[in-house]
Amino acid sequence: MRWEEEIRLKGKVALLTGAAAAIKGEMMGFGGAAVHLFVREGAKVVLTDIRDDLGERAAALRADGHDARYLHLDVTSEQNWAQVVDAVMAEHGRLDVLFNNAGVSFPGRVEDITVEIWDRELGVHARGVFLGTRKAIPAMRKGGGGSIINTSLEMGIVGSPTSPAYSAAKGVITTFTKSAALQYAKENIRINSVHPGYADTPLTARRFNDPGVRQQLLDRTPMGRLGTAEDIANGVLFLASDESSWVTGSELVIDGGMTAQ
Ligand SMILES: NC(=O)c1ccc[n+]([C@@H]2O[C@H](COP(=O)([O-])OP(=O)(O)OC[C@H]3O[C@@H](n4cnc5c(N)ncnc54)[C@H](O)[C@@H]3O)[C@@H](O)[C@H]2O)c1
């Protein structure tokens, strides 16, 4: 058994978006894997998504004695954000961690990207992260600080050969994160981005399971394997915990070496 002070998120309240794929024994996403690490480390967790059936099933981890609850949150909706953050504050009186993780990904050459796809990418990623960050800040201020972690992409730093709209939307997250970090650093609200490489999750399963595509991705990844949801969630846990208390405005790249090339 570990000593109490070794529990990394003890007493913290965490809100996670795009986190419904969090069921043990099924493929998890980054949000889902983070839910499990967060509760293991003593956090009270509010997981959210637009996939309500899956989210409700995931919140059944309460049965293992964890403090976890599911709420519907479409990250593009200002009204939804207000409802969810207000509900967290009413229940817990504080918000320490926000993991802005919801995402959608549409590959395609520039000429083939419709305005609808462009707006959807920018809506979920850019607008979603902005709305969440804006709503979380006053709540975190009440508790004397907090940590916001935004899921970008390795191609939110460099260009993408396959997915320009996705890459552009993730690029907005990269620079927005730094600007917001500067504005709230003095208030101990830390804001960082994570930049995953190719990882097996529900979002990528269909495309990455194509043997030809998989081999291409493996060839591009110096460490010779794709990432797991837990590879990413471990970095998120570090940023959520006080171990990263002097880290803000940074890009945590977790990609098996891909962006180092
Ligand atoms: N898997 C990868 O290789 C990879 C690499 C880099 C970045 N990412 C990013 O990681 C994040 C998590 O994705 P994942 O791969 O773990 O897959 P995932 O399918 O577990 O997570 C994405 C979730 O976002 C939810 N979502 C979509 N639109 C939403 C909306 N409007 N409001 C709220 N939720 C919404 C989906 O329902 C889904 O549950 C995404 O932002 C994705 O872009 C994934």
Percentage of the residues of the chain whose pLDDT score is greater than 90: 98
**Interval between CA 252 and ligand 1 midpoint (Å):** 17
Q: What is the pLDDT of residues 84-106, one digit of tens each?
A: 999 999 999 999 999 999 999 99
Task: Give 127: exposed, middle or buried? Use CB within 10 Å, 0-12, 13-18, 19+.
Answer: middle
Whether the pLDDT of residue 148 is over 50: the answer is yes
- Residue 88 phi/psi, 5° resolution? -65, -45
pLDDT of residue 5: 61
- The set of catalytic residues is 166
Q: Is the pLDDT of residue 132 over 80?
A: yes
Give the pLDDT confidence score for residue 3 in this predicted structure: 52
Closest atom, ligand 1, to C-alpha of 198: 3
In the reported structure, the alpha carbon of residue 4 is separated from the centroid of ligand 1 by a whole-number distance in angstroms of 33
| pLDDT bucket at 231, cuts 50 / 70 / 90 | very high
Residue 260 reports pLDDT greater than 80: yes
Closest to 68 measured CA to CA, from 104, 102, 103, 31: 31
| Radius of gyration of the CA atoms of the chain, in A | 17
**Quick check: 222 and 257 in contact, CB under 8 A?**
yes
CA distance 112 to 91: 46
Torsion of CA 235, 239, 243, 244, to 10 degrees: 120
Give residue ranges with CB within 6 A of ligand 1.
Answer: 17-18, 20-21, 29-32, 49-51, 73-76, 101-105, 124, 151, 153, 196, 198-199, 201-204, 229
Find, among 64, 63, 50, 62, the residue nearest to 21 by Cα.
50
Provide the mean pLDDT of the chain.
97
Q: In ligand 1, which atom is closest to the CA atom of 31? A: 16
CATH architecture assignment, domain 8-199+229-253: 3-Layer(aba) Sandwich (3.40)
Question: From ligand 1's centre to the CA of 5, what distance in Å?
Answer: 32
Å from CA of 100 to ligand 1 middle: 10
Query: Are 172 and 122 contacting, i.e. CB atoms less than 8 angstroms apart?
Result: yes
Q: Among residues 147, 152, 153, 133, which one has the least CA distance to residue 189?
A: 147
